[in-house]
Amino acid sequence: MSTQYEDQTLDKGIKKEEITKNYFPNVGLNRILPFLTFLVSAINVVVGVLSIVSLSFEAYPVPLLGILALLSALLFLDIYRQKDKWDFRLLILAVVSVAALLSLNSLPILWTGFQFNVFIDHSVFSAIFLLITGTPAMMVSLYYLLGATPSAEDVSIYPLILLPVVLILTVYLSLLVQMWIKGGANLDLEWITKPYLDFQWAVKSFIAGDWPTWTTVQTKQAGLLNYLQGTGLLMLLTSLISLPIGVGAGVFLNEYGDNRFGRTARFLISSLRAISLFVLGLTAFSIVFYTNNTPLARIFHGFWIDGYGIVQISSGGSYITASMVLSLLVIPIITSATEQGCHSLPQELREGSLALGASEDTTFWWIILPWSLPNIVTSVILGCAEAAGSVAVLLFIADRGQFGQVGLFKQVTSLAYYIFNVYYADPAFKQFMGGLQFTAGILLLMITFVLGILAMLSKKWLIHRYRGG
Amino acid sequence: MVKNKHRTSRIERFTKILCLIPVISTVLVLVNIILNSIPVIKIYGLGVLFSTVFSNNLSAVMIMGQYGLLPSLWGSVILALTTILFAFPISLALAIFASEFSIKGIGRYIEVVMAIFSGIPPIVYSLLSIFIMQMFITPKLTGAGFPLDYLTSLPGIPPGNKLGPAETSTVLGAFVLALLVIPFMTPLILDAIKNVPFGLKEGSYGLGANRWYTLTHITIPAAASGILTALSIGILKTIGDVVISAWTIGYGKNGMPNPLFDIFEPISPLTSTGASLMNGLTGGARSVLDVGQRSAAFFAALLLMVFAFAILGVVSIARHYFNRRFSQ
């Protein structure tokens, strides 16, 4: 066989040396340069990422860029020696590296210009240049390191894909860890089991015969209990209001919605998600504004009974107002989930139910609803999480809840609103309650994480239970 | 369900009534916004609303009737652009990593993590913005650590027009909003990539293309309409957010930014401008007495709604084009 092969190739005029070179490439030596380039470019990327957050890597970018330029130029020549073709990506890389090096040298420590409202630190530029040159260099050198095959091209894409993924996950993780460091210290039962109270209670004790002492715990007390209770009540009310409406609307749109009314309704309900939360906040404000000085004020504004036993109408909105508007936010989620659930019901089940003599109602209650139950439960839980975290809807009607009262017709407040309110509050409130900001944030995060995991697990379990896996 | 034309069933009547509730309330919400934004047009006229002069009661000197919303409209546009610039490549990379380039099923974990992260409320992100401020903005963009004399002696920008260590900027808002938007965009892009018919990819592999070529030439063009939907969701969430933009960018911008794309200046978007017009940031809306000021906030909401529907319209046209172009 071998002699025959040699004869054929010799016929075509190819030299014998070339055949041996192609069949036995000098693997070790040929891959030293790509390996070195890969190593240096990886160091470039690491230093570039570290330069984003740190100021102490300013000595390295210039030599690193120089070495990278040199190596990529050498690799450019070496590829020509090996493959007999010019890979101009490497030449461009070398030129860009030299340009980056020169511009880094000429940039001042703080850059200002073009009337931009900023001083950009030198390290920001070095980070940008290192990442711009390092990532493509990593890709190209990995390509040649793995033998320049099509599958090597696939593997060489990994740096480009992995870098943003690792970066963003690190950012999320570091932010959550920072939050835990800042707010975890206050996370004990003492703050969670006490409501926030203001001086109103001192007046009450004065009426009862005690002398009000303004600085005692009774007059002013820090705690998050009423905010927690308020968040829970908002979640409960919102899900109670939005569950029947959302499910009913979803079933109607899927079963009977194939006409002009159905299409209009679908568009309007989905546009509830598209319009801003700010619009819903203004709607909540309008409800409160229009019911001002009317008999409905007790319901929509909320009220409390003061120390003299007189009913006082509060100035903002009540929990019922807030949860009505919040349910406008949650209804589209439940509607679309129910619609998807009903849509995925196999036609055979529906027809089988009707063929066995079941009425339309029976089919609805025993076939359609159980089938779409996983979607409904998941969307309700996610809607609860959304209601717990929403500030924009409560922005114009909520208050601090300084009387520590939580109920259907009390003034609305929640953990999320408390966090927002501390930022813009007067210095006294900030000094008094500001320390609990991150603790409230952690509580809110816990609520949303638990609800999110619960939604996933319940969907899995309910699909297993009602759809047979 | 098998439909009887002559008789509506009990379920149909019942669910129709339930369906009417959100429909009617949506119409009421829209009508309320439109009706309430009429007074400010009547009092001040459209020219005032589209001027660049703005003052609210958080300004140093409050002058009634100067509610020019053009800077805020521009702020919304530039905020959406900057956020998408940060968020879109990262969520595209996340989706591609989770679907096409995942190593031993890590992609499944990314889906789960993104689903849990998408429940984090905006207020938590705005609380976390102080760490981004401490880690990046203050040491890198404000010239912290240099004496003020040195900073003011630098050429280029006039003194008094420089980002102080405690001030905020559009970049910070865009960073934080990108963190909010990424968990919403990633699953949508992932779904779009996963829903590309397997025959298309299989054909590409069969003709000898590698994974990267298949991704860039087959999968992403075929998934373009789904990716556009994700993009529109990201933009809508960005321009509709109140809390993060109020917290990180500020209350209301007077005058256009000097270089028009100066993202280091706090250019407040429509939402936070409207919230500050309603006194929502400081003391609740109870102290709003002036009809014109309240109505200006409603007009900002109306502008926002028009903006949102315009984006939806553009995206649906583009999706129509892509669907026609890339499907048989």
Find the CB nearest A276 among B2, B179, B240. B240
User: Is there a contact between B127 and A274 if contact means CB atoms under 8 Å apart?
Assistant: no
**Which residues in A lie closer than 8 A to residue B9 (C-beta atoms)?**
360-361
Q: What is the C-alpha to C-alpha distance for residues B246 and B176, in angstroms, rounded to an integer?
A: 12
Q: Which 3 state secondary structure label does DSSP give B166? A: coil
> CA torsion, points B208, B213, B219, B225, in degrees to nearest 10?
-140
**A-contacting residues in B 45-84 (Cβ below 8 Å):** none
Say what the pLDDT of residue A1 is: 42
User: Is there a contact between A157 and B286 if contact means CB atoms under 8 Å apart?
Assistant: no
**Which residues in B lie closer than 8 A to residue A248 (C-beta atoms)?**
14-15, 17-19
Say if CB B242 and CB A281 are below 8 A apart.
yes
Q: How many CB atoms lie within 10 A of CB B43?
A: 16
Q: What is the C-alpha to C-alpha distance for residues A399 and A316, in angstroms, rounded to an integer?
A: 7
Say what the pLDDT of residue B290 is: 77
Tell whether B261 lies on the interface with A, counting CB pairs under 8 A. no
Mean pLDDT, residues A44-63: 88
User: Is there a contact between A175 and B131 if contact means CB atoms under 8 Å apart?
Assistant: yes
User: Is there a contact between B89 and A164 if contact means CB atoms under 8 Å apart?
Assistant: yes
What is the pairing mode between strands A110-111 and A120-121?
A: antiparallel
Please say if the pLDDT value at position B282 is more than 90: no
pLDDT tens-digit series, residues A313-344: 877 888 999 999 999 999 999 999 999 999 99
Please say if the pLDDT value at position A387 is more than 60: yes
Say what the pLDDT of residue B163 is: 54
Please say if the pLDDT value at position A155 is more than 80: yes
DSSP state of A304: E
Tell me the average pLDDT of chain B: 83
User: Is there a contact between A115 and B275 if contact means CB atoms under 8 Å apart?
Assistant: no
Say what the pLDDT of residue A33 is: 87
User: Is there a contact between A121 and B141 if contact means CB atoms under 8 Å apart?
Assistant: yes
User: In Å, how far is B192's CA from the nearest CA of chain A?
Assistant: 17
Please say if the pLDDT value at position A400 is more than 60: yes
User: In Å, how far is B157's CA from the nearest CA of chain A?
Assistant: 5
pLDDT tens-digit series, residues B212-233: 889 998 899 889 888 999 999 9
Window from A102-106, A164-168, A351-355, B259-263 with minimum mean pLDDT: B259-263
Say what the pLDDT of residue A83 is: 79
pLDDT tens-digit series, residues A410-445: 888 888 988 888 877 777 777 777 778 888 889 999
Say if CB B79 and CB B177 are below 8 A apart.
yes
| Look-up of token digits 């075929």 | B222
**Which residues in A lie closer than 8 A to residue B301 (C-beta atoms)?**
276, 278-279, 282
Give the residue on A whose Cα is nearest the Cα of B99.
A161
Mean pLDDT, residues A383-397: 88
pLDDT tens-digit series, residues B16-62: 899 999 999 999 999 999 999 898 888 888 877 788 888 776 666 77
User: Is there a contact between A279 and B112 if contact means CB atoms under 8 Å apart?
Assistant: no
**Which residues in B lie closer than 8 A to residue A444 (C-beta atoms)?**
121, 123-124
Window from A46-60, B52-66, B295-309 with minimum mean pLDDT: B52-66
Say what the pLDDT of residue A247 is: 93
pTM, whole model, 2 decimals? 0.87
Q: Which residue has the higher pLDDT, A103 or A200?
A: A103
Say what the pLDDT of residue A328 is: 92
User: Is there a contact between B141 and A119 if contact means CB atoms under 8 Å apart?
Assistant: yes
Please say if the pLDDT value at position B6 is more than 60: no
| pLDDT band at residue A307 under the 50/70/90 scheme | low
Say what the pLDDT of residue A427 is: 75
Mean pLDDT, residues B229-244: 90
User: Is there a contact between B27 and A268 if contact means CB atoms under 8 Å apart?
Assistant: yes
Tokens read off for B76: 């919304």
By percentage, how much of chain A surpasses pLDDT 90? 32
CA distances from A438 to A119, A172, A441 (A): 30, 16, 5
pLDDT tens-digit series, residues B128-173: 888 888 788 777 777 776 766 666 666 655 444 455 545 578 888 9
**3-state DSSP helix/strand/coil percent for chain B, to nearest 5?**
70, 0, 30
User: In Å, how far is B281's CA from the nearest CA of chain A?
Assistant: 6
Query: N- to C-terminal Cα distance for chain A?
Result: 59
Site from A276, A349, A417 to mutate, B interface, most B CB atoms within 10 angstroms = A276
Please say if the pLDDT value at position B320 is more than 90: no
Mean pLDDT, residues A148-157: 85
User: In Å, how far is A4's CA from the nearest CA of chain B?
Assistant: 30
Mean pLDDT, residues B104-131: 87
User: Computed from CA positions of residues A434, A439, A442, A447, in that sequence, does the dihedral angle turn out positive or negative?
Assistant: negative
Please say if the pLDDT value at position A302 is more than 90: no
Mean pLDDT, residues B268-291: 74
User: In Å, how far is B134's CA from the nearest CA of chain A?
Assistant: 10
Closest CA relative to residue B126, chosen from A447, A444, A165? A444
CA distances from A232 to A316, A384, A410, A414, B253 (A): 19, 9, 14, 9, 37
| pLDDT band at residue A244 under the 50/70/90 scheme | very high
Say what the pLDDT of residue A31 is: 81
Closest CA relative to residue A415, chosen from A232, A205, A212, A208? A232
User: Computed from CA positions of residues B48, B51, B56, B62, in that sequence, does the dihedral angle turn out positive or negative?
Assistant: negative
**Which residues in A lie closer than 8 A to residue B18 (C-beta atoms)?**
244-245, 247-249, 252
Say what the pLDDT of residue A458 is: 92
Mean pLDDT, residues A51-62: 85
Tell whether B207 lies on the interface with A, counting CB pairs under 8 A. no
Tokens read off for B252: 């209301």
Say what the pLDDT of residue A32 is: 84
Please say if the pLDDT value at position B253 is more than 90: no
Find the CB nearest B121 among A249, A416, A423. A416
Say if CB B53 and CB A299 are below 8 A apart.
no
DSSP state of B67: B
**Which residues in A lie closer than 8 A to residue B128 (C-beta atoms)?**
175, 178-179, 441
Give the residue on B whose Cα is nearest the Cα of A328.
B22
Site from A178, A278, A351, A379 to mutate, B interface, most B CB atoms within 10 angstroms = A278
**Which residues in B lie closer than 8 A to residue A249 (C-beta atoms)?**
15, 18-19, 21-22
A-B contacts at Cβ under 8 angstroms: 312
Per mean pLDDT, which of A137-151, A206-220, B283-297 is the most reliable?
A: A137-151
Tell whether B12 lies on the interface with A, counting CB pairs under 8 A. yes
Q: What is the C-alpha to C-alpha distance for residues B250 and B267, in angstroms, rounded to an integer?
A: 8
Q: What is the C-alpha to C-alpha distance for residues A345 and A361, in angstroms, rounded to an integer?
A: 16
